[in-house]
Amino acid sequence: MGLDALVHCRCAIDGRARRSPSPFVLAEEGLVCDESLGLDELLAFDRWLQDGCSHPGMHYRFTHISNWADYRRFQARVQRVGPHHFPTLHSELPNANGGWTSCSQAASSLDELAQLVRSTEEWPVVKLVDVDSGVVVAERVDAYDGVLVLDGTEGWRASLADDITFYVHGGSADPTVLFRAAEFTQIQIGDGSWKWTAPSGASFSCSNGLPIYNDEGTPSWPSYLRVVEGRGGVADVRPVTEALRDIFEASVAIDMPVHWM
């Protein structure tokens, strides 16, 4: 769960792969054929993608960039240090799965990443942490008004506020605060929902818990969370900057675009 990136090998483009069963193009989604083909032809093309050359899936490089929480933290640091210093990163990095970045833009992004990681600036950041482990569950991103969860069914939003609290509200159309706490427990209840409870006894039940994701994207569910004001800087998101550098270097090395997934 999060953002991945792919750079295809050049075998199909340069004619080194086994002959494709159908014509193909290099598009935003990757190597694709005409979707109007029959099922048997589409399946044959998919099999060719998997074993048409020495690169499994015709992947020169496939990189997990980050879970969404840490990726948003990275975006917040680009914004904080100054997007005018990093115009390619600011414009090219996706806000959702999908899209692509050209090789020339990948080269520019590499230069900007090198400049970004040299920044030693730090600033106050509102964070939601797992009390037991100290791991940061989420961080307030001003560009998203601190919103962490947006429930598409019921319309409520959960956010981190500047006053160092976590609160649930009805959204832009209904700002009514449904729950607010500086710290709270999180338990899963019998019907698969989650319940957040403040020390005051106030609570809110919903279908969205607040997870921590490991490097493989597997979630765990902290039982006690607290909002704190800490310090933030580019060094906090080093795994994201390293993953981005890896995929951009691959793109530049073989002159192929990055596909965001």
- Cα three-residue angle 16-19-25, rounded to 5 degrees: 85
> CA nearest 45: which of 65, 63, 18?
18
Structure tokens that stand for 248 in this block: 């951009």
The answer to whether residues 130 and 209 belong to one domain is yes
Domain that holds residue 169: 123-232
Residue 15 pLDDT more than 90?
Answer: yes
What are the tens digits of pLDDT across the range 236-251?
999 999 999 999 999 9
The answer to whether residues 147 and 136 belong to one domain is yes
The answer to whether residues 113 and 242 belong to one domain is yes
Q: Are 219 and 213 within 8 A, CB to CB? A: yes
The answer to whether residues 129 and 224 belong to one domain is yes
The answer to whether residues 131 and 164 belong to one domain is yes
What are the tens digits of pLDDT across the range 171-225?
766 778 999 999 999 999 977 799 999 999 999 999 889 999 876 778 899 999 9
The answer to whether residues 200 and 138 belong to one domain is yes
Give the H/E segment covering residue 201.
Answer: none
Rounded mean pLDDT of 147-167?
90
Tokens 């006894």 correspond to: 201
The answer to whether residues 72 and 103 belong to one domain is yes
- Total length of the chain: 261
The answer to whether residues 228 and 128 belong to one domain is yes
The answer to whether residues 142 and 213 belong to one domain is yes
Q: Are 229 and 205 within 8 A, CB to CB? A: no
Helix %, strand %, coil % for the chain, to 5? 30, 35, 40
Report the number of distinct structural domains present in the chain: 3
- Residue 68 has a pLDDT of 82
Q: Are 63 and 246 within 8 A, CB to CB? A: yes
User: What is the C-alpha separation between 40 and 82, in angstroms, rounded?
Assistant: 51
